[in-house]
């Protein structure tokens, strides 16, 4: 009996050698459509157009071509049922033993900033999912391939019925995972179009229903601790490339994400050092080496086993300095060949590059909770100093304002309660994650003292309002001459009065930056 394979793909990677093997080694007749058929013909591979097979012309700009009983009957007919096979014979329906389909690139299309609604709708595949689902339902008899990475596996299993059946079950599962993800992407897009978007600039809305289908891309050695199992899902490696070093750990991945979000706040050459997602030292300067020197001095213990991120190509000068200390991960847009050569001597050091801008889904973040997940827009709404209010009697100098802008950009990435002492484009002391804002301030002052960095003339940034004047007074006693905070406390007047008594500048931003 003639074996038939139906091939219709958008992504044609690896298709030609696979198709040749089907014909030359396994005796398949190939059925195909459109661009796939043209490619096979150009490569000299025998192919039959679906419209010639069905006797029904392709029409409506290709919308109707595979939705035909001779296609779906050949996919769905159970070979072990006489009435199925008799009906197929009566209507001239041949069995289709293999389907290779990948879908119109809907997700890629709607991710483009200039996509129109009409173009998005045209990229909703109908025939492809229908064929995939028919073949996957009848996987006892039909092999179905939705991923080019499986071509070699299918060829290898042919001739071994037990192996092929086992593989078919895996491939059928993969099909339903893919079609579920595809439908979810379409629903999410349409929901975003229909919903009344809040006035939040570029931040997207929150879906009424959350459907997730994320492929496992890496099984991790363990989670936060060695006794916890873990895996990575999604498209993390579409955003980053690992150039060298040990396999990324669960904690590395979380730290890399935090570091990438932080460094995105800055335009000038900037270095940030993080530990357990908290920035320990951040500085901007005319060169990365200068920025490193100022960031490193903030906390010379933190880089040990920490994460270092920069926003420009790292050259050999900085690489030579950093190579003298132990850190887990270094992230940069790129590394010069000379820098790569220096770091290559540290085999376990993980070097990561960032692949362009972050995808749209990075605008939102999720956390698991008992019985579900929380979703929120990421804290990306731009802070505009022109919207801030100077509530103190004294006005800030230009240098004080630059320091407050810098400190405000850093403090939003520090775990609450967060306090950052800063100078002009550099951190001086960071206090993170304490139960009391005063305690966070004390830690930041202590860290600055340990580093030998005087706080006289510094600014203090607080991620939330000072509930009492005591936190502001403590900052003034440490040497701060200006404070930036959201404002909004019932005791704002007391805090402002305490600032005025000490001739401090006080700026209210009107925006809180809690990070739990």
Active site residues: 137, 276
Give 296-331 as a DSSP string.
HHH-SSTTTT-EEEESS-B-HHHHHHHTTS--SEEE
CA distance 77 to 86: 10
What's the CA angle centered on 17, arms 13 and 19, to 5 degrees?
95
For 243, the enclosing helix (H) or strand (E) is strand 240-244
The whole-angstrom distance between residue 292's C-alpha and the CA centroid of its chain comes to 27
How close are the terminal C-alpha atoms of the chain, in Å?
A: 65
CA distance 349 to 326: 8
- Using CA atoms, how far residue 401 sits from 319, 381, 468, in Å, is 32, 20, 24
354 forms bridges with which residues in the sheet? 240
Q: Is the peptide bond before 29 cis (omega within 30 degrees of 0)?
A: no
Helix axes 15-24, 34-42, angle to 10 degrees: 70
Lookup result for tokens 């929901």:
191
Residues 416 and 464: beta-carbon distance below 8 Å: yes
Query: Over the range 160-177, which residues count as b (16 or more CB within 10 Å of their CB) and which as e?
Result: eeeebeebbeebbebbee
β-pairing, 307-310 with 329-332? parallel
Phi-psi region of 54 (alpha: psi -120 to 50; beta: other; left: phi over 0): alpha
Residues 509 and 486: beta-carbon distance below 8 Å: yes
CA distance 504 to 101: 67
């Amino acid at each position: 009996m003639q074996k038939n394979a139906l091939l219709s793909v958008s992504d044609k990677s690896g298709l030609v050698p696979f198709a040749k093997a089907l014909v030359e080694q396994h005796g398949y007749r190939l059925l195909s459509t459109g661009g796939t058929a043209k490619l096979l013909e150009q490569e000299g591979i025998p192919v039959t157009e679906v419209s010639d097979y069905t006797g029904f012309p392709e029409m409506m700009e290709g919308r109707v071509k595979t939705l035909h009983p001779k296609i779906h009957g050949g996919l769905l007919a159970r070979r072990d049922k006489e009435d199925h096979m008799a009906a197929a014979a009566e209507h001239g329906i041949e069995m289709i033993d293999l389907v290779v389909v990948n879908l119109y690139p809907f997700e890629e299309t709607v991710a483009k900033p200039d996509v129109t609604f009409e173009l998005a709708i045209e990229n909703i595949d109908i025939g492809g999912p229908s064929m995939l689902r028919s073949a996957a339902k009848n996987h006892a008899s039909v092999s179905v391939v939705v991923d080019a990475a499986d071509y070699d596996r299918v060829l290898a299993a042919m001739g071994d019925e037990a192996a092929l059946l086992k593989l078919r079950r895996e491939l059928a599962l993969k099909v339903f995972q893919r079609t579920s993800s595809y439908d979810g992407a379409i629903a999410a897009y349409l929901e975003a179009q229909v919903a009344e978007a809040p006035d939040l600039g570029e931040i997207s809305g929150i879906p009424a229903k959350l459907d997730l289908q994320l492929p496992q891309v890496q099984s991790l050695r363990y989670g936060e601790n060695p006794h916890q199992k873990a895996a990575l899902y999604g498209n993390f490696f579409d955003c980053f490339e690992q150039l060298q070093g040990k396999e990324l750990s669960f904690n590395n991945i979380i730290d890399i994400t935090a570091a990438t979000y932080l460094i995105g706040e800055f335009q000038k050459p900037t270095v940030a050092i993080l530990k357990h997602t908290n920035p320990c030292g951040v500085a901007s300067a005319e060169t990365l080496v200068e920025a490193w020197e100022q960031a490193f001095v903030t906390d010379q213990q933190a880089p040990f086993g920490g994460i270092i991120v920069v926003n420009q190509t790292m050259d050999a000068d900085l690489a030579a300095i950093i190579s003298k200390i132990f850190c887990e991960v270094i992230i940069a847009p790129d590394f010069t060949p000379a820098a790569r050569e220096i770091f290559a001597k540290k085999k376990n050091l993980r070097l990561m590059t960032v692949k362009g801008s972050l995808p749209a889904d990075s605008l939102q973040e999720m956390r698991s909770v008992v019985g579900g997940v929380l979703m929120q827009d990421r804290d990306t709404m731009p802070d505009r100093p022109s919207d801030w209010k100077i509530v103190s009697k004294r006005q800030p100098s230009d240098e004080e304002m630059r320091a407050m802008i810098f400190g405000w950009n850093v403090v939003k990435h520090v775990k609450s309660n967060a306090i950052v002492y800063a100078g002009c484009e550099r951190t001086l002391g960071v206090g993170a994650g304490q139960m009391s804002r005063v305690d966070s301030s004390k830690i930041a002052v202590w860290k600055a003292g340990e580093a030998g960095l005087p706080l006289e003339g510094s600014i203090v940034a607080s991620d939330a309002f000072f509930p009492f004047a005591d936190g502001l007074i403590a900052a003034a006693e440490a040497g701060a001459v200006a404070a930036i905070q959201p404002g909004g406390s019932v005791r704002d007047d007391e805090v402002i009065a305490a600032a005025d008594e000490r001739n401090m500048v006080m700026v209210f931003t009107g925006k809180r930056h809690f990070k739990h």
